[in-house]
Amino acid sequence: MKRWLSKISGPASTERLGRVPFAENVPGDFYVEDGCCTSCGMPSTVAPELFSYAVDGHCYVSKQPSNVVEVRKMIDAFEVQDIGCIRYKGTNRVIQIKLIASGEGDQIDGLDHDLQALNDEVNADRWGQKK
């Protein structure tokens, strides 16, 4: 179980994609985008141990998930967030597929082509635009 979690180290493509993590995020693959947070408080309702708030109210990832339960809570936070500020820049395909399956694949930085195609198909199904 820990073996797949130990491989959660993503590419440095986040800034290249125009995404800048909020400075107070802890290092790791999950992050909150700088300037995106509306202080909705939703991530803390499902994963309070993983998120904190800066003095200005901007949320940030204060702890990276370290086990399967915390990864599930992080994915739950993706599902309840207001405007898509929580992002994933890692390359763990299991996490990527779980995010895609939950309808949050657009929050993944730098998907491989096969998973991008899967994400496009899931989005088309969700929005009734089946090909």
Q: What is the CATH number of the domain that holds 37?
A: 3.30.70.20
In a domain, 65, yes or no: yes
Residue 46 to residues 20, 42, 79, 109, 116: CA-CA distances in angstroms?
Answer: 24, 7, 10, 23, 27
Total domains present in the chain = 1
pTM of the model: 0.84
- Domain of 11 in residue numbering reads as 2-126
Tell me what pLDDT residue 128 has: 77
The predicted pLDDT at position 102 comes to: 94
Is 94 within the bounds of a domain? yes
Sign of CA dihedral 97, 124, 21, 109: positive
Over residues 9-27, the mean pLDDT reads: 73
| pLDDT tens digit sequence for 76-93 | 999 999 899 999 999 999
**Per-chain mean pLDDT for the chain:** 87
- Look at residue 61 in the predicted model and tell me its pLDDT: 98
Decide: 30 and 88 in contact? Cβ < 8 Å: yes
Instruction: Please count the residues of the chain.
Output: 131
Structure confidence at residue 82 (pLDDT): 87
131 located within any domain: no
